[in-house]
Amino acid sequence: MEKNMIGLPVEASAKMVVDMNTLLSSFQVYYQNLRGIHWNIKGKRFFNLHVKFEELYTDAQIKIDEIAERILSIGGTPLHTFEDYLQCNKVIVGKNVSNDEKAVNLIVESLSQLLQLERDILVKANEITDEGTSAMMSDLIKEQEKTVWMMNAWLGESL
């Protein structure tokens, strides 16, 4: 079995790159959704949510870079055009969302989809002993599960 420079199977890594690019694309759309709701939020909760949404999109921007760098580390090329992102995206595109509850629901729905992608990647990464990708997915999952819980608590809902 042929291995790449970091000791992972070349064929399995190529398949991982496809999945990671889907995650990258979905994260880019999630990021843009966050920017949109940050800009467009209205209402009595504006000040708190405006700041929270900025915190979330700043964090998403860092994660996008980390995902792209992981793709490079396993021997792939990260997607980088909006056309590619929209083709590979698995997250709902939020347009003109200004209502607080709709904005928070959009975040919860987006994170739920990202979590599904990350769990799938985690399983595949474990199968090929890709510890770097596994650790990244575990970290993302842990943090996003907490954000989903907090957003649902804000909405007055339980998991």
Tell which residue, 152, 136, 90, 141, has the closest CA to residue 115.
141
- Closest Cα to residue 49, out of 95, 92, 115, 107? 107
Residue with token string 């694309």: 25
pLDDT in tens, 78-136: 999 999 999 999 999 999 999 999 999 999 999 999 999 999 999 999 999 999 999 99
User: What residue has token string 């759309």?
Assistant: 29
Is residue 61 very low, low, confident or very high in pLDDT (cuts 50, 70, 90)?
very high
Q: What is the pTM of this model?
A: 0.96
For the stretch 14-27, pLDDT in tens is: 999 999 999 999 99
